[in-house]
A and B are shown apart, each in its own frame.
Chain A
Amino acid sequence: DTGVSQDPRHKITKRGQNVTFRCDPISEHNRLYWYRQTLGQGPEFLTYFQNEAQLEKSRLLSDRFSAERPKGSFSTLEIQRTEQGDSAMYLCASSLQGQYDGEAFFGQGTRLTVV
């Protein structure tokens, strides 16, 4: 297993367009998280899945954002009608429920630039 992978690594889009990012977690991990990181800040939690169930969403996640994890495997994060304020690094992480709850492994992120 090569770890958590995210696609694309970079995305430039025009304001108002929709974008979708994909995250493939470590295969046996049942928890998947999305975070957003803006320049000079630490990552901020967006949403969390346990298997296919979306268990928590941050208040940061406006109704333009939607995330899915069909069949409890990969996940997608869609942003509709992008705004310049959406420009950030979007990080995905996965973890395995069990003895080391919370030991999350991160992907390399998708950097979104909205122009």
Chain B
Amino acid sequence: AQSVTQPDIHITVSEGASLELRCNYSYGATPYLFWYVQSPGQGLQLLLKYFSGDTLVQGIKGFEAEFKRSQSSFNLRKPSVHWSDAAEYFCAVMDSSYKLIFGSGTRLLVRP
């Protein structure tokens, strides 16, 4: 069965520091992978997606993610975190019926 694991429940970084959020997936075929961000009480906003091609994908707000098939990973990165990046981040894989299977999320806290 398809699944997504986000091993870090919380991550705290200082403003200006770099960020990497981990995501591992389990899926038999070539995965379609997504990162979404959710601010408190809000819906989900798409940060970036991987369908095929270049394994390093660029997203909005300065985020990027790298697809590594050999590691079944799709980690999200940002070189310099801003206080406004504090939110919950969800990794997801799309299954064969086009629905998303989400990880449990990583809450990002940003220290001033």
Residues of A within 8 A of B (CB): 4, 6, 31, 33, 35, 40-45, 48, 55-56, 91, 93, 95, 100-109, 111
Point out the residues of chain A lying under 8 angstroms from B92, CB to CB. 42
Interface size of B in residues (CB-CB distance below 8 Å): 24
Residues of B within 8 A of A (CB): 4, 32, 34, 36, 41-46, 49, 51, 90, 92, 94, 97-105
Q: Quick one: which of A33, A35, A43 has the most chain B CB within 10 A?
A: A43
B90 A43 Cβ-Cβ under 8 A? yes
Point out the residues of chain A lying under 8 angstroms from B102, CB to CB. 42-44
B-side binding surface: helix, strand, loop or mixed? strand
A102 B44 Cβ-Cβ under 8 A? no
Cβ of A11 to closest chain B Cβ, rounded Å:
14
Cβ of A30 to closest chain B Cβ, rounded Å:
11
Q: Residue A102 contacts which of B42, B94, B104 (CB distance < 8 angstroms)?
A: B94
